[in-house]
Amino acid sequence: MRGLFKPPYSLNSGKIWVSKVLVFTSVTKDVGKRQLVNNLAYALVSYSRKVAVLTLDHHREESREQLEQANIKTFDRPDVLPFEQFDFILVNSQPGFFPHNLSGYNFLVLTPLIDVISASRIFMDSLGVNLIIQIVVNMIGQHKEMEVYEYKIESLMGAPVAYEIPYDRVVSRAEVKRQLAVKVYPWSAFSQTLLKMAALVSDFKYLPPPDYMTQKFFKDLPVSFSRLVFKRW
């Protein structure tokens, strides 16, 4: 994970609160874009960020209830977004589409399979030269014998890979239970990678422990020791 991230674009700059808008699209189905967006949103919330998810891709149900329960606001229309209320707005865009009316960071999600990479490259070539795209390779390790390695992906795509997300069975388990993997399996490889990505896009200089992970740590300690640590703080 390299975390290629530039200073935030300014939306509604006349207002006090400025949001970072992260737009995610893909060219093919079944690349895990929706799971990536939802779990990244929760990872950002765990770092005490105010987050909203804008869903423009209605191919599948977005599990709005689980997002709202995690204090993540959900919208399905960009014109009703109150930008000034959020640190981050994550956009799950339609396949092969970056909305022109939302200025932010554009992420193209793909899996390390040659047919997905080829379709993604054709899409990249159809875009304007001034549009900066960051590549997210998702579900690495699901089909090991068929996968393309990172340096070859960069060569085939003509762009660097910004983030690499490993395949993890816990994501499927959480999906069946209609839960967020980062919430119920915080120590999994998938969740740890998303937490690191959330820290990078938040411009943290180090990786802080999310609130719920800190609480879990002290909850598992003996009561007397926990009180001693808090007292010394």
Q: How far apart are the first and last CA of the chain?
A: 33
Q: What is the DSSP letter of 113?
A: B
Residue with more model confidence, 8 or 46? 46
Per residue in 47-88, pLDDT tens?
999 999 999 987 666 578 889 989 999 998 888 888 778 999
Nearest to 74 by CA among 85, 90, 98: 90
Nearest to 24 by CA among 8, 10, 40, 13: 40
Q: Which helix (H) or strand (E) is 150 found in, with range?
A: helix 150-157
Topology classification of domain 20-208: Rossmann fold (3.40.50)
**pLDDT exceeds cutoff 60 at 124:** yes
Burial of 179 (C-beta count, 10 Å sphere; 0-12/13-18/19+) = middle
pLDDT of residue 49: 92
Percent of the chain, pLDDT > 70? 78
Length of the chain, please?
233
Per residue in 162-181, pLDDT tens?
999 999 999 999 988 889 99
What average pLDDT does the segment 150-156 reach? Answer: 92
Nearest to 55 by CA among 10, 99, 2, 12: 99
pTM across the whole model: 0.84
pLDDT of residue 79: 85
Per residue in 126-136, pLDDT tens?
987 678 899 99
Nearest to 44 by CA among 152, 219, 229, 199: 199
pLDDT of residue 5: 41
* Separation CA 129–CA 111 (nearest Å): 23
pLDDT grade for 227, boundaries at 50, 70 and 90: very low
* Separation CA 46–CA 207 (nearest Å): 12
| Strand-pair partners of 135 | 108, 161
**pLDDT exceeds cutoff 90 at 28:** yes
**pLDDT exceeds cutoff 60 at 11:** no
The β-bridge relationship of strands 133-140 and 105-110 is parallel
pLDDT grade for 228, boundaries at 50, 70 and 90: very low
